[in-house]
Chains A and B, each alone.
Chain A
Amino acid sequence: MTVGRALFQLLVFPGLLYAVPVAWLMLWMERKLTARLQGRIGPPFYQPFFDFVKLLAKRPLPRPPLQALAMSALPVLAVAGTLGALALLPVFPHSGGFTGDLVLLVALLEIPPLCAVLAGFVSRSIYGELGATREAVLSIAYSLPFLAALVALAAAANSLSLSVISQQAMWQVRLPALLALALCLPVKLRVNPFSVANAEQEIYAGATTEFEGPRLALWELAHGLEWVALTGLWAVLAFPAANAAWPLRAVVFVAISLALVLVLAAVAAATARLKLAQAARVYWLWGSALGVLAMVVAVVWP
């Protein structure tokens, strides 16, 4: 991968220049669809953008220096990690990448939840701590199916390179793997029925309860970017057409990502929130079953 290409992917597509507006678009789509399903009109499309600017322009509350530093650094790290993960997505085949970038992607995607857990503890609020604990428990629960699905794909493709994985058909493995990944999306994005870590009626905003102004703005941005990265990862894996022209690939990538947002929002609007133990059980049971199925298929049906 040349430096120029890497920079392009990081800063333009599917990185910063694409991801930030699309993050706002996705946050809006989620709120708008929910509102429409509830018989309301919902927010205008520029809402997440203005929310972001407004929060950025608020004066931060005075805090002890070390805590202030940690509370600013954590959301920045979450944003940076997600952007890095986005840059690795092989939307264009042969656009570079390197052997083993799958491992890096998984690591980068784990940064935002990790930061959220730390944020909950750093903010020294009981609700932040509870949110962080829940976040941690859930991440243990969904990590197994999430990793199993990716490992199964890697085993079937016999490669740890994302672009190789995304180009081979192998639907017998891809199907259960995609299902397992789809199951992990609501909990990673903290939407219903798995919005346990930010359950407002139980623990306020969870880990971000104590964050205000610019620091909260960055969390909102990180959250939007997670939507782009996770639906993007799913879109890349769901369209393994090696020979398609690059404009088609880009269009399909965007289309699948946005469609997935709508599906997730619709499911969220039609469900109540499960309890921590219930949510964890879903992942241990059904998520792991799907992940293991993908792995078994990858091994016995190469």
Chain B
Amino acid sequence: MEPETILESLRVTAAWEVRGDGHWVEAPDLDVRAMARLLLSVEARWVTLTVSPVPGGGFRLLYHWDLAGRLLNIATTVPEGLTQSIADIWPAADWAEREARDYYALEFAGRDELPALMLRPEDEPGLFSRTRELGHDADPADAARVDASRGRRDAGGEP
């Protein structure tokens, strides 16, 4: 299937921007589940999901797919920290969604559970969001401020 037909089927009005690193499109009102089902039917391959925070709130979700060697980058935005899960259609997306929660506390609707992947089970999700104001500091001692549980332990409060 050609990339153009994919946009038509998804009723995306914007056109592909073709670059050296693949096809790019911005589709603010994208139905991600319809996209997932369509790309499954055309034997595309899941590449990954890139989540970036949008200045002023919300997130930009960039879905990357491989269609017979072409990289399709389909971007959409969500105003709040909630979007639809596609892990039931594409098991391959499971870890990427769990990771997005770890980093940005983004929640995925339609999942039974969304356990931590990189963080520990007891950690609060959204590590990147929580530490946004923190710069790169060469002294690791300062990083202790990030993690509330570690602060307690260093103070000798370990149970």
Task: Find out whether A and B make contact in their complex, taking CB atoms under 8 A apart as touching.
Answer: no
Chain A interfacial positions (CB closer than 8 Å to B): none
Chain B interfacial positions (CB closer than 8 Å to A): none
